[in-house]
């Protein structure tokens, strides 16, 4: 009996993640053989201090941004919204800059807390603007206006960040944040990303509530759900995951937009069932982008976010054209 298309898609995702994770552990400028891992020495130390942390950081940050994309698309009822198209990541970057200005010696936990608070404030501001815009736009036009509003808001915040960074000689630090690279990830630095697994689990637990919120305020209220509280809860999860990722890794564009839409096309719109597959596909895509960046110009390296930005931009345009063709 032939396998169904969704089953084939799930099998391909699992196989892809496994293969890409192994390749991520194997690829690098330092030659590490399988034999050397069991004999100790510099190779085994390099593997545990650099290769493993880098791969885990890729996995955790991909889960964070993919899940954040799903949540934001539910609470905004728009398939084109995710942290970088809503300004959430840019606000987190502003929080990182504020910490560098006010308390440059702060521990990572403080930086993550400040970045998360800024991300929360920025996302709430975006949602407030969205309510005003939604009342004046409808249909396919409205679905395209929403991310444009978020990107304009993010551009304004990004300009403020660049101006302040230039005034206080922090352009290099913020450029490193925007690059979203993983070359500097080592043991002892990536560990806060474990917290995003908690965010992912909490999102999965609340998946049914987010699904009802995605049907609109009126339906959610009639179903007995506290709409505002659920939206705020989802916004807090997004802010925490974005803040942690922004401090540890940096700017990761479009992942939360691309992955949920692909999973929706392949597997349907059951959020609770799809959320693990969204996380896994996000891991596969980010691992693939990182591997391309590490090998295409070796021994130099292109940051994963740059490769992902190209993939995401092309996919975003394709999704917009697909939306227009369906509306026509």
pLDDT band at 3 (very low <50, low <70, confident <90, very high): low
pLDDT band at 1 (very low <50, low <70, confident <90, very high): low
Q: What is the pLDDT of residue 144?
A: 72
CA distance 256 to 270: 17
Q: Where are the beta strands (DSSP E) in the chain?
A: none
pLDDT at 232 over 90: yes
- The CATH architecture that domain 5-327 belongs to is Orthogonal Bundle (1.10)
Long-range contacts of 22-30 (CB under 8 A, 24+ apart): 23/287, 23/291, 24/51, 24/54, 24/55, 24/58, 24/287, 24/290, 24/291, 25/51, 25/52, 25/55, 27/291, 27/294, 27/295, 28/294, 29/298, 29/299
- Global confidence as pTM: 0.90
pLDDT at 178 over 80: no
258-260-263-264 Cα dihedral, nearest 10 degrees: -110
Q: When comparing pLDDT for 152 and 173, which is higher?
A: 152
Give the domain ranges of the chain: 5-327
* Weakest mean pLDDT among 14-28, 112-126, 133-147, 312-326: 133-147
**DSSP H stretches of helix in 169-253:** 171-179, 195-205, 207-213, 217-222, 227-248
Burial zone of 290 (CB within 10 Å; 0-12 exposed, 13-18 middle, 19+ buried): buried
261-265-271-273 Cα dihedral, nearest 10 degrees: -130
pLDDT at 256 over 70: yes
């Amino acid at each position: 009996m032939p396998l169904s298309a969704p089953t084939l898609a799930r099998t391909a995702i699992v196989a892809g993640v496994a293969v890409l994770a192994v390749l991520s552990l194997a690829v690098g400028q330092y030659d590490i053989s399988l034999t050397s891992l069991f004999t100790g020495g510099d190779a085994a130390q390099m593997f545990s201090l650099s290769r493993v942390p880098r791969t885990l950081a890729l996995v955790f940050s991909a889960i964070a941004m993919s899940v954040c994309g799903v949540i934001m698309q539910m609470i905004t009822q728009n398939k084109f919204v995710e942290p970088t198209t809503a300004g959430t990541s840019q606000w987190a970057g502003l929080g990182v800059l504020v910490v560098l200005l006010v308390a440059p010696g702060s521990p990572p936990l403080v930086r993550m807390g400040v970045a998360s608070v800024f991300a929360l404030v920025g996302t709430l501001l975006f949602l407030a603007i969205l309510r005003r815009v939604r009342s004046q736009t409808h249909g396919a036009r409205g679905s395209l206006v929403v991310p444009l509003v978020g990107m304009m808001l993010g551009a304004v915040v990004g300009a403020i960040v660049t101006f302040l960074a230039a005034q206080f000689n922090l352009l290099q630090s913020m450029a490193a944040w925007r690059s979203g690279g993983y070359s500097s990830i080592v043991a002892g630095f990536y560990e806060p990303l474990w917290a995003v697994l908690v965010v992912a689990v909490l999102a999965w637990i609340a998946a049914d509530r987010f699904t009802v919120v995605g049907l609109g305020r009126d339906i959610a209220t009639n179903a007995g759900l506290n709409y505002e509280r659920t939206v705020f809860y989802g916004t807090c999860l997004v802010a925490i995951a974005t803040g942690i990722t922004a401090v540890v890794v940096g700017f990761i564009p479009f992942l939360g937009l691309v992955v949920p839409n692909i999973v929706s096309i392949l597997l349907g719109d059951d959020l609770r069932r799809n959320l693990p597959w969204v996380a896994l596909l996000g891991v596969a895509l980010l691992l693939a982008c990182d591997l391309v960046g590490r090998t295409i110009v070796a021994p130099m390296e292109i940051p994963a976010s740059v490769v992902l930005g190209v993939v995401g931009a092309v996919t975003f345009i394709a999704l917009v054209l697909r939306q227009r063709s369906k509306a026509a």
